[in-house]
Amino acid sequence: MRMAWDIEHDTDMTQVDGVSKLVVESALGEFKDKCYHGVSPLALKTHDITTALVKRGYPLEPMPYDTWMTKVKSVASSAMKPLLDTFAALPIHETAGQIMRFSSDQPHLNGSGEDQLERMLDWMIERKYMPKPSAAAGSLPLPAAPKPTFVEMPAQMPAAAAATGSPSGGAHNAGIIQMELYTPNHFVEQSDMEVFHNCPGKYTAGLLQNQIGFCGDDEDSVSMALTVVDRLMKKCAAAGIGYDKIGRIEVGTESLLDRSKSIKTHLMSLFEEHGCRDISGVDNYNACYGGTAAFLNSLDWLQSPSWKSDGRYAIVVCVDIADLNAEQSFLNGASAVAILLGPDAPVVVEPERASCMLNTWDFYKPVGWKDSYPLMRDGKHSIDCYMQCLDECYQKLGDRIYGEDDPQRANKLVKDNAYFVNHCTSTYLCKRAFKRTCENGYPKESGGLRLREQQQLYVEKAEPSTWITKRVGSSYTASCYTNLFCLFSTEQQKMVGKSLCVFSYGSGSASTMYRLRVDALPKMDMNIMARLDKRVKHEPSTYIEMIHAYSTSSYGRFGFKPKDWGGKESGVHYLTEVDEWGKRSYERSKI
């Protein structure tokens, strides 16, 4: 018939094999004292299904549901008509835009819902239940993306809804749709740095770091932000989310290049090329917390009533280049993460969150100081501030999720979340932060956890987020989201149907803990490790020379053109000149 109805609703992807397994296990008496829900946690939207068919070469004409049903009835066999009458009597129109949210006692097996749909189509074509496509695969224009979903709230919000923090007219199930990560194409081995600094084992066995990613004076926080957003938008545009669909961009960084002009204004050059200027948001800075401030601000915008009249997506950019002096250069690193936020997201941000804000001087960068390097005069004090914030966020978040009267709320946060993502300046700090999380969940006075149990939990719940940090080093405000990107790329389908806890910290001090629910994976490059393998390796002496060039190019130096350090990549933005007035110019490489 070559027709598709125009109602955007969810189709659940419950697998017969999964239900059968659950039934058999129940019959064998392996389940007790509970009602089990045998349904897949995954669902596909109408647009997902029609897009999959069109990609294969099946032309589909969208039409109103009632028209579609009338045409189907006209060609259906007599055996099908009673079933079609049942469907026709259902209030299908009311399901438009609604999201299926099931608690489930069975995992979705063998890949995503899209993977299952492709297997089903292959099976039906092979057995001739479906005709072969009439057009070549990939030759037909894809269906237009549906309009974003709005949540209509009653004129007076019920007290129960207000108490649970339900959104009032904002995006439904707002969260992460797509992610992109960029790190410079240069690295040095930490084992070589140990030889260079004559401190064997300090950086590898001590800090659990393998490499440092870095740049010279031809890259900075602006060029990296341009690169990561450029890459994200090219992929979004190819998927039907054009430049005109972005309504907000917020940047988090502490690698400031100007005390007035924001990095976000530089990013507008990418959108002005497409005639787009109506995009709100600017920069956020507070040490390593700026990225989370940008993330939560953008999320709050999506969930606000004002979003209803806008309906577009938001982009959050977390970008930093950790820049310390030669003696402390083992703590350097660099990365940028761009996150597309929007409605009906595969990764949903849960409503509860907890913050801890303090007035501390553990790490700071005074204006007019003799150089660009941060002041951290007491490393132990800095760690103490981090742990105090983690303690308070953990306790408050548990109270808000489970209630202060629940005696088990402390360990529930560890038990109920499959993964933990922490801000860190090294992999060792991630490990130490998770140890503190376990101590909050299982206090010593209540018996605590044995060391072996705690280490096993770290391997399962926290270590999978650290593999990129091991290879790029500290990236300040981008580190938390570099770790989140790493977790998705490492665990992939294991994460679907589970939740994770994120702790973000910035010196000074600012911190927040919140949770994400993974209904499906975000769109992103899952082969990030292969990209890291292709970077250019440098000796420690060259590394020190390059980071010194970067430091002087970003602080008090004007009227110069950067050195060409080699290793340039096509499509990456590079700094080309800083004029005598401090105006910085950038170009996209066409190598």
pLDDT in tens, 339-363: 999 999 999 999 999 999 999 999 9
DSSP string over 100-162:
-----SSPPPSS-HHHHHHHHHHHHHHTTSSPPPSS-TT-SPPPPPPPPPB----SS--HHHH
Report pLDDT for 540. 97
- 371 and 477 fall within a common domain: yes
Q: Is the predicted pLDDT of residue 86 greater than 90, yes or no? A: no
- Give domain status of residue 77, yes or no: yes
Lowest average pLDDT, out of 11-15, 33-37, 257-261, 285-289, goes to 33-37
Mean pLDDT along residues 253-266: 95
Mean pLDDT along residues 542-554: 94
- Give domain status of residue 98, yes or no: yes
Domain boundary among 127, 147, 167: 147
Report pLDDT for 111. 66
Q: By C-alpha distance, which of 492, 482, 549 is closest to 181?
A: 482
pLDDT in tens, 537-546: 999 999 999 9
% residues pLDDT > 70 (the chain): 91
Lowest average pLDDT, out of 4-8, 101-105, 173-177, goes to 101-105
Kindly report the length of the chain: 591
- 441 and 552 fall within a common domain: yes
Domain boundary among 147, 166, 194: 147
State the amino acid at position 473 in one-letter form: G
- 140 and 181 fall within a common domain: no
Please report, for the domain that includes residue 128, its CATH number. 3.40.50.720
Banded pLDDT at 81 (limits 50, 70, 90): confident
Lowest average pLDDT, out of 37-46, 221-230, 266-275, 426-435, goes to 37-46
Q: Is the predicted pLDDT of residue 423 greater than 60, yes or no? A: yes
53, 282, 332, 575 from 320: Cα distances, Å: 42, 16, 10, 15
Report pLDDT for 80. 77
Domain boundary among 109, 129, 147: 147
Number of DSSP helices (H) and strands (E) in the chain, helices first: 18, 18
More confident residue, 15 or 304: 304
- 116 and 18 fall within a common domain: yes
Q: Is the predicted pLDDT of residue 153 greater than 50, yes or no? A: no
Q: What are the structure tokens assigned to 581, written together?
A: 């007035």
Report pLDDT for 100. 54
- 496 and 572 fall within a common domain: yes
Q: Are 341 and 314 in contact (CB under 8 A)?
A: yes
More confident residue, 165 or 184: 184
pLDDT in tens, 379-416: 899 999 999 999 999 999 999 999 988 888 889 999 99
Report pLDDT for 36. 64
- Give domain status of residue 159, yes or no: no
Mean pLDDT along residues 174-189: 98
- Tokens 């390796």, located at residue: 537
Banded pLDDT at 123 (limits 50, 70, 90): confident
Q: What are the structure tokens assigned to 175, written together?
A: 């969260």
- 111 and 230 fall within a common domain: no
Report pLDDT for 168. 53
Residue 126, classified by CB atoms within 10 Å of its CB into exposed (0-12), middle (13-18) or buried (19+), is exposed
219, 261, 310, 335, 530 from 535: Cα distances, Å: 15, 32, 41, 13, 9
- Give domain status of residue 185, yes or no: yes
- Give domain status of residue 79, yes or no: yes
Structurally, the chain folds into a number of domains equal to 2
Report pLDDT for 195. 97
- 442 and 321 fall within a common domain: yes
83, 244, 396, 519 from 503: Cα distances, Å: 51, 33, 13, 20
- 363 and 498 fall within a common domain: yes
Question: Looking at the annotation, which residues are catalytic?
Answer: 254, 288, 423
Report pLDDT for 182. 98
Q: Would you give the end-to-end CA distance of the chain in angstroms?
A: 48
Q: Are 512 and 354 in contact (CB under 8 A)?
A: yes
- Give domain status of residue 373, yes or no: yes
- 140 and 183 fall within a common domain: no
Banded pLDDT at 284 (limits 50, 70, 90): very high
- 386 and 435 fall within a common domain: yes
Judge if the upstream peptide bond of residue 509 is cis by omega within 30 degrees of 0.
Answer: yes
- 373 and 436 fall within a common domain: yes
- 245 and 140 fall within a common domain: no
- Give domain status of residue 154, yes or no: no
d(CA 214, CA 548): 11
Report pLDDT for 157. 32
Please report, for the domain that includes residue 186, its CATH number. 3.40.47.10
Give phi and psi for 578, each to the nearest 5.
Answer: -125, 115
Lowest average pLDDT, out of 90-99, 306-315, 362-371, goes to 90-99
- Give domain status of residue 486, yes or no: yes
d(CA 220, CA 343): 32
* Domain that residue 72 falls in: 3-147
Q: Is the predicted pLDDT of residue 41 greater than 80, yes or no? A: no
